[in-house]
Amino acid sequence: MTSRKVVSFENIKVACKNCSLATLCLPMGLTPDDVERLDCIIKRGRPYHRGDHLYRGGDKFHSLRVITSGSVKTYSPNEDGGEQVLGFHLPGELIGLDAIQDDCHTCSAIALETTAVCEIPFSQLESLSAIMPSLQHQMYRLLSREIGQDTEMLTLLGKKSAEERLATFLLSFSERFKQRGFSASDFFLSMSRHEIGNYLGLAVETVSRLFTRFQDENLLRVERKHVQLLDIPRLYDIVQGSDSAKSSQSRG
Amino acid sequence: MTSRKVVSFENIKVACKNCSLATLCLPMGLTPDDVERLDCIIKRGRPYHRGDHLYRGGDKFHSLRVITSGSVKTYSPNEDGGEQVLGFHLPGELIGLDAIQDDCHTCSAIALETTAVCEIPFSQLESLSAIMPSLQHQMYRLLSREIGQDTEMLTLLGKKSAEERLATFLLSFSERFKQRGFSASDFFLSMSRHEIGNYLGLAVETVSRLFTRFQDENLLRVERKHVQLLDIPRLYDIVQGSDSAKSSQSRG
DNA sequence: CGAGTAGTTGACGATTGTCAAGATGGGTGG
DNA sequence: CCACCCATCTTGACAATCGTCAACTACTCG
């Protein structure tokens, strides 16, 4: 009963126009009027707890989802029982785009911590986008952006060393936290080492060793999930892949 | 002058409704009436020759493109001069979707052989899709499919061995050639070993050795670009990653 | 407080990349 | 038509990165 109260409270109070994520999220670039219309179709349910699935591979597709707080892991189960982690998603990020294709989720999404989401029923979004050119354009852009991000990831997995992969990973979180008004150099990672390794195509042990090594080299301080980046420029050097990282160290 | 004749001939003669690729391409699932309307905005230019760029990273984005004959490689130049091959595209496949995001191509596309394409001006496609729900839906589906394909590729690069990667690569072409009415077991690859290796995240030498090994194991016959798949089921076993490939061999 | 999971560290080995040399083939010009 | 050249491909030897196995530690949660 308490929870029912909370839900209805949220339904009244929370709206895109008041949401701090509006500049990162679907409403990005829409006029206030258009945002209002979009808002009408959005559903806000109760939060998920750590380990809850938002959806599973094979589920019928109804809604896209935007994380509003917390974080989510998407992954696709692969034939031999294992899984491939496809992404970690922070507030403002849209998930479920892969399911449009044949009206069925191809991957699963699970909350890494207590997580709230907005659900956007896709059929309604589609109808709305047909009469709102700005929304249609925004949808095309978001889908295209997703493709662009995936191709960056392909380069990461195809060409980069373990070191470059982890540095890229950390800087990605750094930038995304910064965008969201949090510290770019001091944050908590909500996923396990195992999940990081899986995502980056590395063994857990490699990830662990790299964290230790980065710490030894004063690039960062790490204690479990708490990460403090101490030398962001040098991490960027590492991402570039050239041997410039070492020379940059001696610079300082 | 000969080419001008050919072009005008094509402009009159070639149309989606007559095109054998219609079931693979944008018109897939549209009514004949809708196909007609789509056809009006499509431009068909003269063919590209091997090595010609369809577009380059940084070019302003105007049009999506569908390959109608030949084949195309897409790649993104990465900082240190190298490149990441993002895909090889056959007739009926749509490229340029990554450029919608900020009206600018993020990767380059180059013809691997003599190649013809349909150009679809995106702004017109967007307008048309706003008044043609079926086309809008088709666009969402195609964008979503692209995302799905990219995530499969992420699994390939993140989790699979060299052997599994090459087998997956070969079967992908086998299936796609089959879909297009060609032989699933006897075909020419239009790209070099180097490009295959780059795409699969492997060194050229590894690709070469694997071709030799697959041939030694009677999985295929290969001579330069000409590939004949001799044991497709066993190639599928290899893709699965389990050790079943070996046992499957002793079965036969 | 105890048990189980997650993380760390070390030793070792396998897969794959790198370097180098040689083979093959297609295309061009004499 | 032949010879030559250059790019592509193949093959071998070796090295390095990273994965696997195993033991141990440190949290977390009931």
Q: Does B150 touch chain A (CB under 8 A)?
A: yes
Distance from CA of A220 to the nearest CA of B (A): 25
Q: Is residue A170 part of a domain?
A: yes
Helices B204-216 and B193-200 sit at what angle, rounded to 10 degrees? 100
Nearest-angstrom CA–CA distance, B192 and B69: 19
Q: Is the pLDDT of residue A11 over 90?
A: no
Q: Which residues touch strand C (CB under 7 A)?
A: A 192-194, 204-205, 207-209, 211-212, 222, 224-225; B 161-163, 201-203, 205-206, 224
The distance (Å) linking the CA of B34 with the C1' of C18 is: 55
Task: Please tell me whether any atom of strand D lies within 7 Å of the Cβ of B192.
Answer: yes
**B116 and B191: one domain?**
no
The token duo for A251 is 């610079």
- Sheet order of strands, A116-121 included: A43-44, A116-121, A63-69, A94-95
The distance (Å) linking the CA of A171 with the C1' of C12 is: 33
Does the predicted TM-score (pTM) go above 0.85?
yes
Q: Is residue A247 part of a domain?
A: no
**B138 and B59: one domain?**
yes
**A102 and A174: one domain?**
no
Task: Assign A140 a pLDDT band (cuts: 50, 70, 90).
Answer: very high
**B112 and B34: one domain?**
yes
**Within a 10 A sphere around the Cβ of B49, how many other Cβ atoms?**
11
**A214 and A115: one domain?**
no
Task: Assign B2 a pLDDT band (cuts: 50, 70, 90).
Answer: very low
Q: Which domain holds residue A44?
A: 16-156
DSSP run (H or E) holding A240: helix A232-240
Query: Which residues from chain B sit within 8 angstroms of residue A80, using beta carbons?
Result: 240-242
Residue A5: what pLDDT? 43
- Domain boundary among the residues B156, B182, B205 is at B156
Task: Assign B243 a pLDDT band (cuts: 50, 70, 90).
Answer: low
- Out of A139, A144, A241, name the one closest to residue B98 (CB): A144
Task: Assign B11 a pLDDT band (cuts: 50, 70, 90).
Answer: very low
Total structural domains within chain A = 2
Query: Which residue in B145, B159, B237, B238 has the most chain A C-beta atoms within 10 A of its own C-beta, making it the best mutation to test that interface?
Result: B159
- Domain boundary among the residues B135, B156, B177 is at B156
**A139 and A41: one domain?**
yes
Task: Assign A78 a pLDDT band (cuts: 50, 70, 90).
Answer: confident
Cβ <8 Å between A147 and B144: no
**A150 and A27: one domain?**
yes
Task: Assign A242 a pLDDT band (cuts: 50, 70, 90).
Answer: low
Q: Does B78 touch chain A (CB under 8 A)?
A: yes
Nearest to A231 by CA among A179, A185, A164, A163: A185
- Domain boundary among the residues A111, A132, A156 is at A156
**B179 and B126: one domain?**
no
**A128 and A180: one domain?**
no
Give tens-digit pLDDT for B43-73: 998 899 999 999 999 999 999 999 999 999 9
Q: Is residue A145 part of a domain?
A: yes
Give tens-digit pLDDT for B68-127: 999 999 999 877 678 999 999 999 999 999 999 999 999 999 999 999 999 999 999 999
Residue B3: what pLDDT? 43
**B112 and B50: one domain?**
yes
**A147 and A185: one domain?**
no
Give the rounded percent of residues in chain B with a pLDDT score beyond 70. Answer: 89
- Sheet order of strands, B63-69 included: B43-44, B116-121, B63-69, B94-95
Residue B60: what pLDDT? 97
Give tens-digit pLDDT for B212-231: 999 999 999 999 899 999 99
What CATH number corresponds to the domain at position B206?
1.10.10.10
Residue A124: what pLDDT? 96
Interface of B with A in 220-239 (CB under 8 A): none
**A169 and A70: one domain?**
no
Q: Is residue A51 part of a domain?
A: yes
As a whole number, mean pLDDT of residues B164-193 equals 96
Give tens-digit pLDDT for A43-72: 998 899 999 999 999 999 999 999 999 999
Give tens-digit pLDDT for B179-193: 999 999 999 999 999
Give tens-digit pLDDT for A146-160: 999 999 999 999 999
What CATH number corresponds to the domain at position A131?
2.60.120.10
Give tens-digit pLDDT for A170-227: 999 999 999 999 999 999 999 999 999 999 999 999 999 999 999 999 999 999 999 9
Q: Does A58 touch chain B (CB under 8 A)?
A: no
